[in-house]
């Protein structure tokens, strides 16, 4: 079990709800992944392909914890307004905060992100800010009240995995009391497992499952990868070495004196 914010869940995988072939496929993928937390964009889904009653009915009645997000927002004002709308619609104080600074890279605007996070924390939200792997930005988010930070592995939808591992390791080492969830850029189950092996608390992804040839099986694979990575981290993995070391001890192995060979 995992306690995140004020909820206790069984899975450390958070799953998005966009771009699935159908609401039915989305529903089955979420169920098979084991995810207890799903994220939904109020702005994008309202005008996108999932704008139908089946989609919204499932979102509201799926039994998972809803993490609304402010995807598509480019200013503090838009993000804060969208967060308040999401709180009213979904009856939750959770919000995944996105304030995009560049339309091509979808990189967050760090200045607007921190300001929006400050306002929403003061308004009683549990803020899940989407950021880069920059330590200073993460520390600023913590300083304005965030207990959770969501650094990207690489740009949204790129599938590049953990592009700057050393920076991510630094975040984990320096922010020991903060819940860290890798969000964006995860393309393969091995990427998710690697993040969990580094000690991150969870992984959030969408595209790698939704656009897979078989989204349901891929969701299952990601659920297993997150569990395996976390288990390996908790078990204590061996450290790499420069040289070889025999796995079989030499004690008790028979040997012969040189005279015996003559």
Does residue 146 form part of some domain? yes
Q: What would the mean pLDDT of 64-90 be, rounded to a whole number?
A: 94
Q: What is the pLDDT of residue 167?
A: 96
Which residues, 6 or more positions from 257, have their beta carbon under 8 angstroms from its beta carbon?
Answer: none
pLDDT digits (tens, 9 = 90+) for 178-196: 999 999 999 999 999 999 9
Q: Structure tokens of 204?
A: 């959030």
Q: How many domains does the chain have?
A: 1
Could you confirm whether 60 is annotated as catalytic? Answer: no
Output b/e per residue, 158-196; b: 16+ Cβ within 10 A.
bbebbebeeebeebbeebeebbbbbbbbbbebebbbbbb
User: How many other C-beta atoms are found inside a 10 Å radius of the C-beta of residue 74?
Assistant: 16
pLDDT digits (tens, 9 = 90+) for 147-158: 999 999 999 999
pLDDT digits (tens, 9 = 90+) for 211-260: 999 999 999 999 999 999 999 999 998 888 878 877 766 666 665 555 55
Q: What would the mean pLDDT of 38-57 be, rounded to a whole number?
A: 68
CATH number at residue 14: 3.20.20.70
Q: What is the pLDDT of residue 47?
A: 43
Q: What is the pLDDT of residue 245?
A: 77
Does residue 202 form part of some domain? yes
Does residue 186 form part of some domain? yes
Q: Binding residue per annotation — 227?
A: no
Binning pLDDT at 50, 70 and 90, where does residue 61 land?
confident
Task: Say what the alpha-carbon torsion angle 78, 151, 185, 90 is, to the nearest 10 degrees.
Answer: -50
Binning pLDDT at 50, 70 and 90, where does residue 159 land?
very high
Greater pLDDT, 40 or 60:
40
Q: Binding residue per annotation — 157?
A: yes
Q: Binding residue per annotation — 207?
A: yes
Q: Binding residue per annotation — 202?
A: no
Distance CA 68, CA 128 (A): 10
Domain of residue 132, residue span = 7-235
Is residue 48 pLDDT above 80, yes or no?
Answer: no
Does residue 178 form part of some domain? yes
Question: Of these residues, 27, 96, 140, 241, which one is catalytic?
Answer: 96
Which residues, 6 or more positions from 113, have their beta carbon under 8 angstroms from its beta carbon?
Answer: 97, 99, 129, 130, 131, 137, 141
Does residue 250 form part of some domain? no
Q: Percentage of residues in the chain with pLDDT exceeding 90? A: 75
This prediction has a pTM of: 0.88
Q: What is the pLDDT of residue 174?
A: 96
Does residue 248 form part of some domain? no
Does residue 25 form part of some domain? yes
Does residue 176 form part of some domain? yes
Q: Binding residue per annotation — 184?
A: yes
Residue 19 near residue 206 (C-beta atoms within 8 A): yes
Mean of the per-residue pLDDT values of the chain: 90
């Amino acid at each position: 079990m995992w306690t995140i914010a004020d909820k206790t869940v069984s899975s450390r995988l958070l799953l998005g709800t966009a771009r699935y072939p159908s609401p039915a496929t989305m529903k089955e993928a979420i169920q098979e992944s084991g995810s207890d937390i799903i994220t939904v964009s109020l702005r994008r889904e309202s005008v996108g392909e999932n704008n139908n009653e089946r989609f919204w009915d499932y979102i509201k009645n799926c039994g998972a914890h809803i993490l609304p997000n402010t995807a598509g927002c480019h200013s503090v004002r838009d993000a804060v307004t969208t967060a308040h709308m999401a709180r009213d619609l979904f009856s939750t104080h959770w919000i995944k905060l996105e304030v995009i600074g560049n339309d091509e890279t979808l990189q967050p605007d760090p200045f607007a992100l921190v300001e929006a996070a400050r306002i929403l924390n003061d308004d009683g939200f549990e803020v899940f800010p989407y950021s880069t792997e920059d330590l200073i930005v993460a520390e600023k988010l913590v300083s304005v009240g965030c207990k959770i930070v969501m650094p990207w592995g690489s740009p949204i939808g790129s599938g590049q995995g953990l592009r700057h591992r050393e920076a991510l390791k630094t975040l984990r080492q320096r922010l020991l009391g903060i819940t860290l969830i890798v969000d964006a850029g995860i393309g393969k189950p091995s990427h998710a497992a690697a993040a969990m092996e580094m000690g991150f608390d969870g992984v959030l992804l969408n595209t790698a499952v939704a656009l897979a040839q078989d989204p349901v099986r891929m969701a299952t694979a990601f659920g297993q990868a997150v569990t395996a990575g976390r288990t390996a981290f908790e078990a204590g993995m061996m450290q790499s070495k420069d040289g070889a070391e025999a796995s079989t001890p030499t004690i008790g192995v028979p040997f012969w004196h040189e005279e015996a060979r003559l």
